Amino acid sequence: MTIETSPDCPPHCQRRLLITAGPTHEPIDSVRYIGNRSSGRLGVDLADAAARRGWAVTLLLGPSALVPAEPSVTLARYRTASDLGELLAAHQKACDVLVMAAAVADYRPKVTPEQLTGKLRRKDAKMVIELEPTEDLLAGCASRRDPGQVFVGFALEPRERMMSSARDKLERKGIDLIVANPLETMEAGAIEAVVLGRDGSARRTEGAIEKAAFGDWLLTVIEEAATCVND
Ligand code: CTP
């Protein structure tokens, strides 16, 4: 297998990718949750593509029916944003590149331990579920990162404000690259993306490309940005 490295990398150098994928499920009680429509497809494909390139890959995967095809991918599962935060804290030091493809909930139901283990009952009166904000995991990881680590986020945005929102998130989260893509990408077979860099760079796919080919396209962009730090 070919390991693609920069000319400065010694032969043993293997890049380490930490990637998150899939939705979060935030419990309302023991049987209900607030989730989102992310399938995890993009992140799982990206994990497989990186493993095929010889990267050491750890995939933090949410409640998704998908699993990576490549046996070398190390898999850990999460359910909630808070579970994912704990996994990231445990794994982030041992990576060269972090890609946050997970669709993380911004709010979770504010529930007591008793509600979490019980089941809400139907009543005639209306029901109000109070939500509390979750932590911005990517911003938290970026604030603790080591020199040389490359952090990549995603921004799924309405087309008309895609570029400005993505630029804003790149700055606000303190990351190196952000993959901006329009909302229509969500359940489509193809993706049209722009990767914005902290250095002001913008790399676009040539129109919409098949999601299966997108992983390799994005990894090439990331490899250009990532220098080898584990030599
Ligand atoms: N993200 C995260 N923690 C959250 C929410 C999002 O780490 N609580 C990450 C996502 O994995 C993604 C990036 O931040 O890589 C952008 O996510 P997005 O939902 O588009 O941005 P938000 O910060 O949630 O902003 P908004 O909801 O206002 O668009």
Domains of the chain: 3-225 (3.40.50.10300)
Q: Is residue 152 within 8 Å of 98, Cβ to Cβ?
A: yes
Task: Report the predicted TM-score, pTM, of the whole model to 2 decimal places.
Answer: 0.92
CA 153 to centroid of ligand 1, rounded, Å: 8
CA 193 to centroid of ligand 1, rounded, Å: 17
CA 61 to centroid of ligand 1, rounded, Å: 16
Tokens of 122: 């139907």
Taking the CA of residue 135 as reference, the ligand 1 atom at the shortest distance is 8
Taking the CA of residue 155 as reference, the ligand 1 atom at the shortest distance is 20
Largest CA distance in the chain: 69
Ordered per-residue pLDDT tens for the chain, 231 residues? 233 444 455 445 689 999 999 999 999 999 999 999 999 999 999 999 999 999 999 999 999 999 999 999 999 999 999 999 999 999 999 999 999 999 999 999 999 999 999 999 999 999 999 999 999 999 999 999 999 999 999 999 999 999 999 999 999 999 999 999 999 887 788 899 999 999 899 999 999 999 889 999 999 999 988 754 433
Q: Which residue's CA lies nearest to atom 20 of ligand 1?
A: 155
Cβ contacts of residue 102 below 8 Å, gap of 6+?
20, 21, 22, 23, 24, 38, 43, 60, 62, 84
In eight-state DSSP terms, residue 131 is E
β pairing state of 177-182 and 150-157: parallel
**Cα 151 from Cα 184, distance rounded (Å):** 25
At 8 the pLDDT is 52
Which of the listed residues 87, 88, 100 should we mutate to test ligand 1's pocket, taking the one with most ligand atoms within 8 A of CB? 100
Q: Is residue 101 within 8 Å of 39, Cβ to Cβ?
A: no
What Rg do the C-alpha atoms of the chain give, in angstroms? 19
β pairing state of 209-210 and 190-191: antiparallel
Taking the CA of residue 140 as reference, the ligand 1 atom at the shortest distance is 7
At 225 the pLDDT is 82
Beta strands in 78-200 (DSSP E): 97-100, 107-109, 131-133, 150-157, 177-182, 190-191, 194-197
Q: Name which of 107, 189, 190, 194 is nearest 156 in CA terms.
A: 194
Q: Is residue 140 within 8 Å of 151, Cβ to Cβ?
A: no
Catalytic residue set: 36
169 Cβ below 6 A of ligand 1: yes
CA 124 to centroid of ligand 1, rounded, Å: 36
Buried b (16+ CB within 10 A) or exposed e, 198-207: eeeeebebee
22 Cβ below 6 A of ligand 1: no
At 4 the pLDDT is 41
Please identify which residue in the block is written with the tokens 């590149």.
97
